[in-house]
Amino acid sequence: MRTVEYSFGGRIYHLCMNGAALFDIYEKFGSKGSVVDLIRGNGKKSFQHTCWMLAKFAEQGELVRRYQGFDHGKFPSAEYFQTMLRPLDVVQAKDTLERTIRLGFSREEEREAEEIDLGLQELEKKTEVR
C-alpha cells in the first residue's frame, strides 16, 4: 500500500486513504458527493474537515507502516492540526490530501512477467505464411 509523505511541524507523516479511512469518512460525513468536496472551500467546515482527514490519513498511514514492519510512531489528532496549522499550511495540507485521495482510489497493479512459450513461438515461425 502506497502512502503520501506530508511534512509538518518537523515530522513526516505518511498519509494513506485505505478502506478503513474511506468508510470512516462515509460514517462521519455521509457518502454523497466526492470525498474531495469535503475539503474544498475557505470556510470553517472545510478547515475542520481538512484537519480531521489529515489526522485520519496519518493514523491509517502509521498503521500500514506498522503492518509493514516499521517502528511504531505516533499519529496526531485533528485538534493538533486545528491548533497548529497556519493559513498557508492549510493550502499545502489540502493539496496533499487531494493527492492522497487520488492515490487511494487508484489501482495498484503488479504486472507479472509475461510467460513465453518457446515451443509455440517455434511452431508459429514454422507455419508463418510467406
Whether 80 maps to a domain, the answer reads: yes
Q: What is the pLDDT of residue 81?
A: 97
The predicted-structure confidence for 26-81, as pLDDT tens digits, reads as follows 999 999 999 999 999 999 999 999 999 999 999 999 999 999 999 998 889 999 99
Q: Which residues pair with 78 in a beta bridge?
A: none
In a domain, 120, yes or no: no
E strand or H helix at 113: none
pLDDT of residue 61: 96
Q: pLDDT band for position 5 (50/70/90)?
A: very high
pLDDT > 60? residue 14: yes
Number of folded domains that form the chain: 1
Please give the residue range of the domain that contains residue 11. Answer: 4-108
Query: Is residue 122 assigned to a domain?
Result: no
Name residues whose C-beta falls within 8 Å of residue 48's C-beta, 6 or more positions apart in sequence.
78, 82
Single-letter code of the amino acid located at 25: I
Q: State the number of CA atoms in the 13 A half-sphere of 75 facing the CB.
A: 22
* Structural domain includes residue 13: yes
**Tell me: the pLDDT tens digits for 90-120?**
999 999 999 999 999 987 665 555 566 666 6
Domain for residue 118, yes or no?
Answer: no
Averaged over 83-94, what is the pLDDT? 96
Q: Enter the DSSP assignment of 11.
A: E
Q: Which residue has the cell 502509521?
A: 62
Helices (H) and strands (E) in the chain, counts: 5, 2
Q: Looking at the domain assignment, is residue 101 inside a domain?
A: yes
Does a structural domain hold residue 31?
Answer: yes
Residue pair 16/61 in contact by the 8 Å Cβ criterion: yes
Cell 460514517, located at residue: 27
pLDDT at 75 (0 to 100) = 87
**Which is more confident, 99 or 122?**
99
Residue 55 lies in a domain: yes
